[in-house]
A = this chain, B = another copy of it.
Amino acid sequence: MRWSQMFVPTLRDDPAEADAPSHRLLLRAGYVRQLTAGHYSLLPLAVRVRARIIEIIRAEMDAIGAQEMLLPALHPAEPWQRSGRWELMGQEMFRLRDRRGADHALGMTHEEIFATVARELNSYRRLPQQWYQFQTKFRDEPRPKGGLMRTREFTMKDAYSFDLDGAGLDASFGAYHGAYTRIFERLGLPALACEASSGTMGGSDSTEFMCPADVGEDLVVHCPACGYAANIERATSVLPAASDAPGPAAPERFDTPGVRTIEDLRAYDAPDDRQIKTLVYVLDGTLTLVLLRGDHPLNEQKLVDATGATGIRAADPAEIQDALGALPGSLGAVDAFLPTPLPVIADEALRGRRDMFTGANTDDVHLRGVDVDRDIEVGKWADLREVEAGQRCVRCGEALEIRRAIEVGHIFKLGDRYARALGVEVLDPDGKRVPVVMGSYGIGVERAMAAIIEIHNDDRGIVWPLAVAPFQVTVVVAQSDDAEVAEAAEDVYAALKGAGVDVVIDDRAERAGVKFRDAELTGIPFRVTVGRRGLAEGTAEVTARATGDTEKVPLDAVVAHVRSLLRR
């Protein structure tokens, strides 16, 4: 490949719109251009990197016996309606009507559609099956951002497992866990396997592969001591056991003029951890009281996961005033002080607590001496609080850290949810029809590309790991107008190509400085510079992008030297 003929529109300056290092570098190094918010054109270098990433993923999928398929991107509504996700996916799903007026969706994911194919499995003898594809996914993201990090259109490797039972699913899930670990290692991504929320996917269990990075949109709770890792939407921590005095026989009202916050109430001898915080949410249309300890923040995803609610929002003050007769600041769930009965969901940290403080549902009035078990009709106990840094690890008791991270993979144990909804049944060994048990396993290809750049860059540009680089080597003709230099460089280029090296020659009529800058910006792992000075003594310079280390190498030894570098 000749740089003079390639379309690599590098930019001299940082683009103003870039909001993440990978975004900035992908634009500046001429890898991508935005068509419209969330939709990117991949230019030739990006297509080469994408192909390398796909090759690695495909090899590891094939290695665990998965079979590649390709299912449609545009789906009829029917399978989505059967699973209930036609509604559930809400605005994130692109929808359209065809010329006959039939409803369709652009695939955000393919559980339903793979399930329709799996109906033909029929017998346990055909199980297990592992199916995957590389297919475009479309998601109408409210806020596309970070260049390739969060887009409305991207390539996903999505895989699906079909097993007869939970033990089979566990084995399949384990195989993908291993494959993902190897994939991210080969991609140069230091991904942590984290316990995660399954979100709209459903199912019993899921693991996210998280790459620590400042621009990450997720928070990972991590124990450096024992390796425990979980998305903050799922993470738990150990709390010191509370030992409360019994308190009075019934809650006592007391006036709290002007008190609106946890902090305000402290003045009444009510430390944060003895207060009950009462939040009001509307869950699928139902006003619900959500209780946490005064010093504990709510994690909304935990509330979603605990309740299975599909529509969730904080109630507005008018709704609250209407139902409880008071404004936020004086709310409480104590039964005797509730004007109307409302469902109550409480965080586990409140279980058994006594002599607590909370609002009395009258502005400027609170209660003391509240015994949670005695005074509050808790409909559901759940883990709702968001873990905070420094809290203790549930596994080893050491202090937890919280880090920003990029989700580069997510694997799910789905159980039989989709199989039941879509009628994917097989005859089991006893001749009984049973739903199959499914798993689903995804990697976003272009996000992986962006994540690799987030991890592998410096102030001069991208530093691709060899396995995913668009080229392994660039041969720079330092003085293109010098026929002797050009000829020697062409010889080196031809020799490297002949040796199977993935090489480009920068034969542009540009100054050497421009070529060096572009070689560094685009992140090609090795640069071979052929210039007048070296030529006089029969050498070329070989420079490693990652370290900047440069060696003089005799011209006739360049191929052997480069090959030894590539083998390392």
Residues of A within 8 A of B (CB): 5-7, 9, 33, 35-36, 39-44, 46-48, 50, 65, 67-76, 91, 94-96, 98-99, 104, 106, 113, 116-117, 120-121, 126, 129, 131, 133, 136, 138, 140, 142, 152-153
CB distance A117 to B39 under 8 Å? no
The distance in angstroms between the C-alpha atoms of A477 and B71, with both chains bound, is: 32
CB distance A73 to B153 under 8 Å? yes
CB distance from A133 to the nearest CB of B (A): 8
A96 / chain B contacts, CB cutoff of 8 Å = 94-96, 106
Question: Which of A65, A68, A131, A152: most chain B CB closer than 10 A?
Answer: A68
CB distance B67 to A131 under 8 Å? no
A40 / chain B contacts, CB cutoff of 8 Å = 72
CB distance B74 to A153 under 8 Å? yes
A129 with B39, Cβ < 8 A, contacts A99-B91, A120-B33 known: no
A142 with B36, Cβ < 8 A, contacts A41-B72, A42-B69, A131-B7 known: no
6 further A-B contacts with Cβ under 8 Å, apart from A6-B67, A41-B69, are A35-B75, A35-B113, A42-B71, A47-B69, A74-B152, A96-B96
26 contacts between A and B (CB under 8 A): A5-B65, A7-B67, A7-B121, A7-B129, A9-B120, A33-B120, A35-B72, A35-B75, A35-B113, A39-B75, A41-B69, A41-B71, A41-B113, A41-B116, A42-B69, A42-B71, A44-B67, A46-B70, A47-B133, A50-B70, A74-B152, A94-B96, A96-B96, A96-B106, A98-B152, A106-B106
CB distance from A506 to the nearest CB of B (A): 15
A47 / chain B contacts, CB cutoff of 8 Å = 68-70, 133
A133 / chain B contacts, CB cutoff of 8 Å = 47
CB distance B70 to A42 under 8 Å? yes
The distance in angstroms between the C-alpha atoms of A68 and B243, with both chains bound, is: 67
Determine the residue in chain B with the shortest Cβ distance to A94.
B96
A69 with B94, Cβ < 8 A, contacts A74-B138, A113-B35 known: no
The distance in angstroms between the C-alpha atoms of A39 and B74, with both chains bound, is: 8
A126 / chain B contacts, CB cutoff of 8 Å = 7
CB distance B73 to A35 under 8 Å? no
Determine the residue in chain B with the shortest Cβ distance to A67.
B44
CB distance from A448 to the nearest CB of B (A): 15
A99 / chain B contacts, CB cutoff of 8 Å = 91, 140, 142
A104 / chain B contacts, CB cutoff of 8 Å = 94
Question: Which of A121, A140, A153: most chain B CB closer than 10 A?
Answer: A140
The distance in angstroms between the C-alpha atoms of A43 and B43, with both chains bound, is: 30
A50 / chain B contacts, CB cutoff of 8 Å = 70
Shortest Cβ-Cβ A-B pairs, 5 listed: A96-B96, A39-B72, A42-B70, A44-B67, A36-B76
The distance in angstroms between the C-alpha atoms of A6 and B69, with both chains bound, is: 11
Contact of A35 among B42, B71, B129, B152 (CB under 8 A): B71
CB distance B94 to A35 under 8 Å? no
The distance in angstroms between the C-alpha atoms of A138 and B76, with both chains bound, is: 14
CB distance from A426 to the nearest CB of B (A): 13
